[in-house]
Structure 1
Amino acid sequence: MFERYTETARRAIFFARYEASQFGAQAIEPEHLLLGASREDKPLFIQILPDGEDSLEWIRRSIENHSPPKPRIPVTVELPLAPETKRVLHYAHDESDRLKHRHIGTEHLLLGLMRAEDSVAAQVLFELGLRLDAMRDVAQRIKAPRPYVFQANRPNGRRRIVLGVERLQQMPLLRGARVGLVCNQASVDHRFRHVADLLHEHTAINLTALFGPQHGIRGDVQDNMVETAHALDRKTGLPIHSLYSETREPTEEMLKDVDIIVCDLQGVGCRIYTFVYTLANCMRAAKKFGKKVIACDRPNPIGGIQVAGTVLDPAFTSFVGQFPIASRHGMTVCELARMFNEHFGIDCDLECITMKGWSRELWYDETDGPWVLPSPNMPTIDTATVFCGSVHLEGTQMSEGRGTTRPFEILGAPYINADDFGNALNNLNLDGVYFRPCVFMPTFQKHAGKACGGVQIHVTERRAFEPVITGIAIVKTAYDMYRDDFRWKDPPYEYEYDRNPFDLISGTSKVREAIERGDDLASIQASWETPLAEFKALRERFLLY
């Protein structure tokens, strides 16, 4: 039936099914198809609608007024096409044939919707001033299928940015100074050239030492609490000082040939990620030994707008949380460095080199930035999208997906029934996410070589998706359903030998205690809203973009 459909048109139908489930409809109506099409082919809709993107929002509001949403239906339910929607698809075929097109795209779906004159979708389009003949003229000019663009994740064209470290190389700040570089495998420019090589080859820069964070300077060490050794860099011949070894702060000896510490590390937008604390430790050492720190900025891969989750209680300070900031902080590395320095009192000689071209609403894959996995189990932007939530599973005996090809997206344990677990999570009706039941076998780490039941997290609308409450929901659901088998992880965790690892990740014991007490998810989320609001107000002072 769908052989002639473009990939974008097929995805429009796929998301029509999703929209129908969110409206609590018993079948996929034409208005759901309109929402799916407008979601998947924004460039076409912006071209034809009188007010561009504002009209897209008006379409949704109008449909909601015509057909107020009912209780959601789990997306696992296979909803049929309504008879009127089948007629729309028939009309779309007819319009494609009329225009002598070989394909059926979203433009033909629109024509089909307009021919179903009595439908809610057609009435909404007519109210916007669209007319069938004019739309046919637009469709006539579209001669062949347009390239498929995944609109949920990427705009039509990526924003050009200039990284902080790329700007630094054009500045005189390092001339005449002995430079130490904190970096790892993700410290590259747009041509994927490593920053250590660029600074070493620069005739005006005297690079004297390299410093590596957790997982090593080349990112080859898989697990937590696996230290990396000091070494010599084979390419540059420079000493590599490991800051995930017997020390996590540069010593006076390490800094004896360094005047300026340059830090170029890629963050992931989550408090529970140690690279920003390596930077903080370098700032402390710089203050102690009279050095300067230059922090080079990179994009927050999950955008700089959404802020969510618990704010660290200082009683639970550790190397996965040194400061009272939110789980999803919505800040860049340089913005955090300014906060650490000015608000939390490190008070070192700090200079931040900002990016050009980046703005807060942009996710990493909406820029032309060079993505390299910043740590072994952070391979993609999809991983970073869910990490603020699924990292909480590190504080349990459940597998967080290490040892699979989708770490932090595939989760479970040997005692879990995948279908039951997936259904329970989907029945929570969390925004922007679907939990697909699956069985997997980790090749290393927790439950290595054992079949685990669980779910894969599929983010269907990432700007609506809230990862922290999703991660807590996964842990709480496993605890509630499998109380006899579920276990919290035992210490040690990140060099803390006497405190519950889940509490260290959460930044508080209150979340675990609420799960054990049987509190509902809404109550747990409400418990962190006041400190979260205070953090949001604080962060405004340190935003650079």
Structure 2
Amino acid sequence: MGKNVLRMIREATISILAALVFVSIATAPSATPQPFQDLISQETSRTRVGIDVWSERGFAPLAGKRIGLISNLTGRNNRGELTAHVLRAEPSVDLVAIFSPEHGFSGIEEGSVASSSDNASGLPVHSLYGEARRPTSEMLDGLDALVFDIQDIGTRFYTYATTMAYAMEEAAAHGLSFVVLDRPNPIAGAYVQGPLLDESELSFVGYAPIPVRHGMTIGELARYFNQERGIGADLTVVEIAGWRRTDWYDATGLQWTNPSPNIRNLVQATLYPAVGPLETTNVSVGRGTEEPFEWFGAPWIDAQRLAEVLNAAALPGVRFVPHDRTPLASVYASELCHGVDIILTNRDTFTAGLTAITLATTLHELHGETWSLEQFPRLWGRPEVIYQLRSGLSATQIAATWAADLAKFLEIRERYLIYE
């Protein structure tokens, strides 16, 4: 799957057209990647992630150091071996503690996660999504460095980047080195879309004023956070080998591991920055269904009319089909919901920010008395969006309000990019 994809890559250019800002490329669409467990581990991928490059370098500069690893099941080398197991078996590295993010080290837990121990090694596994959201002094006692190896998905409100940033802050405060084993941005690193987070909306689901879809790897984000947020950590990013900004995940040859329970394929990761902001409202985004983030709905939605209005908007790269579903969990569990499937027709023209705000303006237009939008700014990142929606501004008018800030961000972002 994806092996016969033909890609024509032209020089990336930045285009700000009020409603959308993205770097133009042409990449032929490719198939949805198989789940991790359906793939046979290979060493044929042209992309080598940070743990592979670090291994080749003899684990410098942390050879002989006592380290804590922040990771989960997405932290793997090209052979499919967990980074935790690789480091545990490496005599030149002293792995003494593991730290886990949201969803735990297993990557499948929901809600608050308790600290535990690793069955294979007996090492403590400190949860950073439970009573503590950042490493404590007690957790860091005796460590020389923290190493971060988690697959991010390129969306501002995905919490792994905040976990990394909080850990960087604590590493700086405790005099520890911080190493990021970089990984590709699965939804490509050439697209930057949506509004910047307002400083008033900073939270665990929004660490810094960056766009909804930032177009950076986790290592590039670490560089950005370290400087722009004044963290000042002793930071090393072990770079990816063989990855280009225009590469989607299925062009890398790397195995897919679900980064969280409801991001099960590349299509869902791609749609997440557009559909995710609806989660703070009284709408199901498909949790508890077979296709989370590829559908949204509610018992009170007129699905046929919703699909008609959304399709009339002619959003690039997507179309909408009415579809009733009954979620088995989360919002409206066991209730029949009327909604729409989101069909990704061209991922290279798809524009997350414009799509997201069009979903919001359409819901407000059709169901303004029922759709609860008070918490919408929490993931969207802009408090003024409530006024904009209630004032009847169109999606393109609202998109125009973030274009200037996005252009400024693109200039600053350039300083921290690693890959061409």
Give the equivalent residue in structure 2 for 1:169.
55
Asked if 2 retains the 8 angstrom alpha-carbon contact of 1:293 and 1:349, the reply is yes
The DSSP-based 3-state class of the residue aligned with 1:253 is helix
- The AA in structure 2 aligned to 1:183 is S
Asked if 1 retains the 8 angstrom alpha-carbon contact of 2:66 and 2:145, the reply is yes
- The AA in structure 1 aligned to 2:309 is A
What is the CA-CA distance between 1:483 and the residue it aligns to? 2.0
What is the CA-CA distance between 1:191 and the residue it aligns to? 2.0
What is the CA-CA distance between 1:354 and the residue it aligns to? 0.4
Asked if 2 retains the 8 angstrom alpha-carbon contact of 1:163 and 1:297, the reply is yes
Q: Distance in 2 between matches of 1:518 and 1:215?
A: 38
Of 412, 415, 418, which aligns to 1:538? 412
What is the CA-CA distance between 1:174 and the residue it aligns to? 2.3
Q: Distance in 2 between matches of 1:381 and 1:356?
A: 21
Matches within 5 A, 1:68-467: 151-153=28-30, 160-171=46-57, 172-222=60-110, 226-467=111-352
Aligned length: 387
Q: Provide, for residues 89-128 of structure 1, a one-character-per-residue CA deviation record: whole Å limited to 9, x for no partner.
A: xxxxxxxxxxxxxxxxxxxxxxxxxxxxxxxxxxxxxxxx
- The AA in structure 1 aligned to 2:53 is R
Asked if 2 retains the 8 angstrom alpha-carbon contact of 1:186 and 1:265, the reply is yes
Give the equivalent residue in structure 1 for 2:355.
470
Q: Distance in 2 between matches of 1:53 and 1:249?
A: 40
Q: Which runs of 5+ in 2 are unaligned?
A: 11-26, 33-43
Higher strand proportion, which one?
2
- The AA in structure 1 aligned to 2:89 is E
Q: Provide, for residues 4-42 of structure 1, a one-character-per-residue CA deviation record: whole Å limited to 9, x for no partner.
A: xxxxxxxxxxxxxxxxxxxxxxxxxxxxxxxxxxxxx98
- The AA in structure 1 aligned to 2:203 is S
Residues 1:526 and 2:384 are matched in the alignment: no
- The AA in structure 2 aligned to 1:323 is A
- The AA in structure 1 aligned to 2:65 is A
Aligned in 2, Cα 1:204/1:504: closer, same or farther, shift over 3 Å? same
RMSD of aligned Cα (Å) = 1.9
What is the CA-CA distance between 1:170 and the residue it aligns to? 2.5
What is the CA-CA distance between 1:474 and the residue it aligns to? 1.4
- The AA in structure 2 aligned to 1:166 is D
Asked which structure has the greater CA Rg, the reply is 1
Q: Distance in 1 between matches of 2:143 and 2:268?
A: 36
Asked if 2 retains the 8 angstrom alpha-carbon contact of 1:210 and 1:240, the reply is yes
Q: Distance in 1 between matches of 2:131 and 2:188?
A: 34
Give the equivalent residue in structure 2 for 1:145.
none
Asked if 2 retains the 8 angstrom alpha-carbon contact of 1:298 and 1:332, the reply is yes
The DSSP-based 3-state class of the residue aligned with 2:296 is strand
Q: Runs ≥4 in structure 1, deviation > 6 angstroms?
A: none
The range that moved more, 350-359 or 166-175, is 166-175
Asked if 1 retains the 8 angstrom alpha-carbon contact of 2:9 and 2:246, the reply is no
What is the CA-CA distance between 1:288 and the residue it aligns to? 0.7
- Highest RCO, 1 vs 2 (Cα 8 Å, sep ≥ 6): 2
Q: Distance in 1 between matches of 2:196 and 2:87?
A: 37
Of 350, 369, 378, which aligns to 1:504? 378
User: How does the TM-score come out when normalised to structure 1?
Assistant: 0.69
The DSSP-based 3-state class of the residue aligned with 2:137 is coil
Asked if 2 retains the 8 angstrom alpha-carbon contact of 1:189 and 1:370, the reply is no
Q: Distance in 2 between matches of 1:306 and 1:470?
A: 14
- The AA in structure 1 aligned to 2:375 is P
Q: Which runs of 5+ in 1 are unaligned?
A: 1-40, 47-51, 55-149, 489-499
- The AA in structure 2 aligned to 1:404 is T
Q: Distance in 1 between matches of 2:126 and 2:149?
A: 15
Give the equivalent residue in structure 2 for 1:5.
none
What is the CA-CA distance between 1:277 and the residue it aligns to? 0.8
- The AA in structure 2 aligned to 1:193 is E
The DSSP-based 3-state class of the residue aligned with 2:106 is coil
Q: Distance in 2 between matches of 1:325 and 1:174?
A: 31
The DSSP-based 3-state class of the residue aligned with 1:169 is helix
Q: Distance in 1 between matches of 2:384 and 2:9?
A: 42
What is the CA-CA distance between 1:166 and the residue it aligns to? 1.1
Q: Distance in 1 between matches of 2:303 and 2:85?
A: 47
Asked if 2 retains the 8 angstrom alpha-carbon contact of 1:159 and 1:357, the reply is no
Q: Distance in 1 between matches of 2:265 and 2:49?
A: 19
Q: Distance in 2 between matches of 1:471 and 1:400?
A: 12
The range that moved more, 473-482 or 352-361, is 473-482
What is the CA-CA distance between 1:512 and the residue it aligns to? 2.4
Asked if 2 retains the 8 angstrom alpha-carbon contact of 1:154 and 1:366, the reply is no
Give the equivalent residue in structure 2 for 1:123.
none
Higher helix proportion, which one?
1
- The AA in structure 2 aligned to 1:512 is I
User: How does the TM-score come out when normalised to structure 2?
Assistant: 0.89
The DSSP-based 3-state class of the residue aligned with 1:240 is strand
Q: Distance in 2 between matches of 1:364 and 1:339?
A: 22
Asked if 2 retains the 8 angstrom alpha-carbon contact of 1:392 and 1:472, the reply is no
